[in-house]
């Protein structure tokens, strides 16, 4: 697997430092409140697992699985909900946890869908952001790192369901996904 890595962008230590920082920020901003973290599967599960342990508040979690990529490296723009929430979010403080925001089309759809369920508040948290690829306006409330327009793997992020277990975030060699 590591032979497919073009370049390590963020080490395990850098990631943990950023996750701790975001956790403290959320703790401060939601003091005396309960939050619901909604992880967007599958990529955000590692980030969310680490992040929730850094939030010193009552936290509940839920997950959604959405797809706009399939096995491609480009978003189709057509969003499908593959797994919906198990609980109501009405009158709750919601933070969507994403691994990476690219065009923003999937997350924009997801936000519209969740807002229709009448949460008390809705914020977005992402570990990685590619702002130059954005096709829709999004307010990202908590952000780890801006990244270049590279195909990223590791720390929960995959290519064709592989590489999620790498402890760092790296760029994938082009020859791997341009086959």
Provide the annotated active-site residues.
Answer: 102
Task: Please say whether the beta carbons of 135 and 104 come within 8 A.
Answer: yes
3-state helix, strand, coil in the chain (%, to 5): 25, 35, 40
| Tokens describing residue 87 | 């609980």
CA distances from 72 to 31, 69, 104, 124 (A): 41, 5, 16, 25
Task: Please say whether the beta carbons of 171 and 5 come within 8 A.
Answer: yes
Contacts of 176 (CB under 8 A, 6+ apart): 4, 159
User: Sign of torsion, CA 20 42 126 167?
Assistant: positive
In eight-state DSSP terms, residue 44 is T
User: Sign of torsion, CA 62 101 56 18?
Assistant: positive
């Amino acid at each position: 697997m590591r032979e497919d890595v073009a370049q390590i962008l963020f080490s395990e230590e850098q990631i943990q430092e950023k996750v701790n920082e975001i956790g403290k920020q959320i703790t401060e901003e939601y003091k005396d409140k309960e939050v619901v973290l909604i992880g967007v599967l599958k990529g955000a599960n590692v980030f969310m697992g680490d992040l929730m342990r850094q939030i010193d508040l009552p936290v509940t979690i839920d997950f959604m699985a959405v797809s706009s990529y399939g096995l491609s490296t480009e978003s189709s723009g057509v969003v499908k909900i593959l797994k919906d929430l198990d609980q109501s979010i009405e009158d709750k403080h919601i933070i969507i946890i994403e691994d990476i925001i690219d065009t923003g089309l999937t997350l924009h759809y997801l936000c519209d869908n969740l807002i229709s369920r009448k949460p008390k508040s809705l914020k977005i948290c992402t570990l990685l952001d590619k702002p130059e690829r954005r096709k829709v306006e999004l307010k990202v409330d908590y952000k780890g790192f801006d990244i270049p327009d590279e195909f990223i793997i590791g720390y929960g992020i995959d290519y064709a369901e592989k590489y999620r277990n790498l402890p760092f975030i790296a760029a994938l060699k082009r020859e791997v996904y341009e086959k």
